[in-house]
Amino acid sequence: MQQDETPVNPPKLTRTLNWKVFTKNTVYILIALLVFLFALNLMISSFQHLGKAAVETILLATSNPFTALFIGLLVTAIIQSSSATTSMAVALVASGSLTLEGAIPIIMGANIGTTITSTIVSLGFIAKRKEFIRAVSSGTYHDFFNILTVIVLFPFEYFYGLLSGISRQIAISFFSEPVTSDPSGFSFFGKGFDPIVNFLVSHINSGLVLALISFALLFGSILFFRKVLTDILGLDAQNTFHRFFFRNKLKSFAWGLITTATIRSSTITTSLVVPLVAQKVVKLKEAVPFILGANIGTTITAFLAAIFNSNSAISIAIAHFLFNLFGVILFMIVPYLREIPLKLAIQFGRITRKYRLAGFLYILVIFFFLPFSLIYLNKDQNLYTEVSYERKNLTTGSTVNYAVIIQDGRRLAEYTWMYYQESAGKVEPNQIVSVFRRKNVLFIDNELFEFKEVGYCRTNEMMGAPYELCVENILPTFTINNNEFDSVYVFQKFPITYNREDSTTSVVFINPAKNMILKKERYNKEGKLIEMDQLKSIVNK
């Protein structure tokens, strides 16, 4: 009896072991997070060093929103990670290689592409006839939900800029984000990664190689992050899902959001639902709120990629969240609409039970054949104009040459201007802006030019400084460097107050027919010409 009562303390040993495991996993998570942020910083730098031809290719590929949509779908379907695709979209916007409007269709396509995994998982039940219909229904519900969301929201973004407009306004109001993309202002943790990034950039003189390295690190960190957190949460156990995640709609939605945000992968969480529905552990209607919550939770990656900076990268994260939020509101809350994706998924499950090859054809057509075909058919539809300028500083006598790629046809009366500047023998992207034309109004870099009668003035404000912009003259013809233009408007821009020593007055020559700046003159406080930008050549490509 005395020996049987000898005290032992196994719980203490268990607690010690758990603490060690917890500490180890926490270190792994922090390492994965740091690698992710470093990879994104390196990716942004690599995009800035890809060169003129590569950035023109990106602009051409994404200038057509339909093409951009299917690029996002195809890339995500191939790499099976919407987190990597959205992170790359954030990096492109932050580097100044892509506008917010050009990135949003990519995000929409990524939302559809990420559903391929759950659909493939559902086809794994093809040998089990009774379970197959339920598996396909649960596997394709996420597909139909995202496809329908794109069908509803894509036209609003295409014609009216719904998501881009709202997300940009939120970013400006709450994050003090500038309207244009300035790649020089992007960094994580201040300048913490700059020494390493600068070292790699200086020793690897290839933007493409840097981009490939950064993508490998980015994708690897996401996969490693998922694995560690999946092991911690024990998400491989189906009874865990059943006990904790599907008790009611609100809890199911919340758990889908929290779980996906934690492991940063809707691919894993939605795919794990498929066998539960197939084996009648959970009904499809009970799983729907969890899938929709996962759709919101997956937006955490874009926020994580953008939250440490104050430039336009935050707008794409907000747009991603709004897109998924509007979809959830439409197809979860609106009574009649919420039945549509559910009925489509169930009906498709019945079709695949009757025609087993239907599921495989669906994957090939929706995720591969259709995107490839539409990208190929639209590849030559967008032309652009390259305009070369010369900037003379009359005070120092220095001269700088730069070019602007004007890409039109993205959508109604919208243009993308990509600025390039010569530096150290290289021509690299410097800034990207969106330009809008609405009847007699032209928006350039948050400046509003109205083509009205001579003497018309308008008060505006930029960076907190009020100024007045007036129509000084309308020239019937204007010739510059052997290029002749008709009906050129001459605008004079001057600050309302001269409190600052560096206050300047500008004269801008704009051709409304081509929506193009032809010449810009800047005068100091005393009225002396100090700087002049003027057009050198125009090449249509």
Establish if 205 belongs to a structural domain. Answer: yes
Domain housing 484: 384-540
Report whether 253 contacts 288 (CB < 8 A): no
On the 0-12 / 13-18 / 19+ scale of CB atoms within 10 A, 340 is middle
The CATH number of whichever domain residue 437 belongs to comes to 2.40.360.20
Looking from the CA of 108 toward its CB, the CA atoms found within 13 Å total 30
Establish if 339 belongs to a structural domain. Answer: yes
CA distances from 499 to 89, 466, 527 (A): 41, 12, 16
Establish if 7 belongs to a structural domain. Answer: no
Establish if 2 belongs to a structural domain. Answer: no
Q: Which two tokens stand for residue 4?
A: 């049987």
Q: Say yes or no: 370 and 410 in one domain.
A: no
Angle at 445 between CA 537 and CA 319, to 5 degrees: 125
Q: How far apart are CA 371 and CA 120, in angstroms?
A: 18
Q: Say yes or no: 473 and 494 in one domain.
A: yes
Task: Classify 15 as helix, strand or coil.
Answer: helix
Q: Say yes or no: 460 and 440 in one domain.
A: yes
Q: Say yes or no: 417 and 351 in one domain.
A: no
Establish if 82 belongs to a structural domain. Answer: yes
Classify residue 50 by its DSSP letter: S
Domain edge (last residue) among 348, 377, 406:
377
Q: What is the pTM of this model?
A: 0.67
Tens-digit pLDDT string for the chain (541 aa): 444 444 444 444 344 445 666 577 667 767 766 776 677 667 666 655 655 555 556 656 666 788 888 888 888 877 666 777 777 777 777 766 677 878 889 899 988 988 887 887 787 777 777 788 888 888 889 899 999 999 999 999 888 888 888 888 887 777 655 444 444 444 444 455 667 777 777 777 676 777 778 767 766 765 676 566 556 555 444 555 555 667 778 888 888 888 787 766 677 777 778 877 887 878 888 888 888 888 888 888 777 766 655 455 788 888 889 999 999 998 888 888 888 998 999 898 888 888 878 888 888 888 888 888 877 776 555 556 778 888 898 888 888 887 777 765 544 455 667 666 665 555 555 566 767 777 788 888 667 888 999 999 888 776 667 788 899 999 999 999 888 999 999 999 888 765 545 577 899 999 988 888 899 999 887 888 899 999 888 876 6
Q: Which 3-state string (H, E, C) describes 254-293?
A: HHHHHHHHHHCCHHHHHHHHHHHHHCCCCCHHHHHHHHHH
Establish if 103 belongs to a structural domain. Answer: yes
Q: Say yes or no: 274 and 372 in one domain.
A: yes
CA distances from 99 to 63, 125, 183, 225 (A): 9, 42, 12, 29
Domain edge (last residue) among 377, 412, 445:
377
Task: Classify 382 as helix, strand or coil.
Answer: coil
Q: Give 417-449 pLDDT, tens digit per residue.
A: 766 666 555 555 556 676 777 778 888 866 788
Establish if 165 belongs to a structural domain. Answer: yes
Q: Say yes or no: 285 and 413 in one domain.
A: no
Q: Say yes or no: 395 and 301 in one domain.
A: no
> How many C-beta neighbours within 10 Å does residue 505 have?
16
Q: Say yes or no: 335 and 392 in one domain.
A: no
Q: Give 147-183 pLDDT, tens digit per residue.
A: 999 999 999 988 888 888 888 888 777 765 544 444 4
Establish if 3 belongs to a structural domain. Answer: no
The number of folded domains in the chain is 2
Report whether 308 contacts 189 (CB < 8 A): yes
